[in-house]
Amino acid sequence: MPTSTRLVYSTEAGRICPDCRQPVLQCLCSRPAAVSVSTDGIVRVSRETKGRAGKGVTLVKGLGLEGDALTALAKALKATCGSGGTVKDGVVEVQGDHCDKVIAWLAAKGWKVKRAGG
């Protein structure tokens, strides 16, 4: 019977990643890749219903922000529209059709904005 010397659990650190042999909470190999923030300087605002059972959301793409800055901007947009939403893969999603409000708000803040889609 083969013996395995692979450490699976440690009382000091808990579960251990089998690839990098670090505690799971400090694992370097399973972190998601960073979202690319390269942009052409134009923020595109569109409305989409695909995959949402007919419910429309307003998408804001090309902001060129990441992390806390993107989350703060999304929070301000949701408050302006009086609606919920989220940030997914560097794209701000605001529930409902708020394209005109979002475009006006971003333009007032100095962003170069275009309406994308129909």
- The domain limits of the chain are 1-31, 43-115
Three-state SS annotation for 48-65: ECCCCCCCCEEEEECCCC
Q: Distance between the two ends of the chain, CA-based, in angstroms?
A: 65
From residue 42, alpha-carbon distances to 2, 11, 18, 59 in Å are 60, 51, 43, 14
Q: Per-residue pLDDT for 22 more than 80? A: no
- H-type alpha helices, the chain: 68-81, 99-108
The correct CATH number of 43-115 out of 3.40.50.300, 3.30.780.10, 3.30.10.20, 1.10.10.10 is 3.30.780.10
Measured CA to CA, the distance from residue 66 to residue 81 in angstroms comes to 21
pTM over 0.95: no
Q: What is the pLDDT of residues 57-115, one digit of tens each?
A: 999 998 888 888 889 999 999 999 999 999 988 899 999 999 999 999 999 989 899 99
- What average pLDDT does the segment 32-38 reach? 53
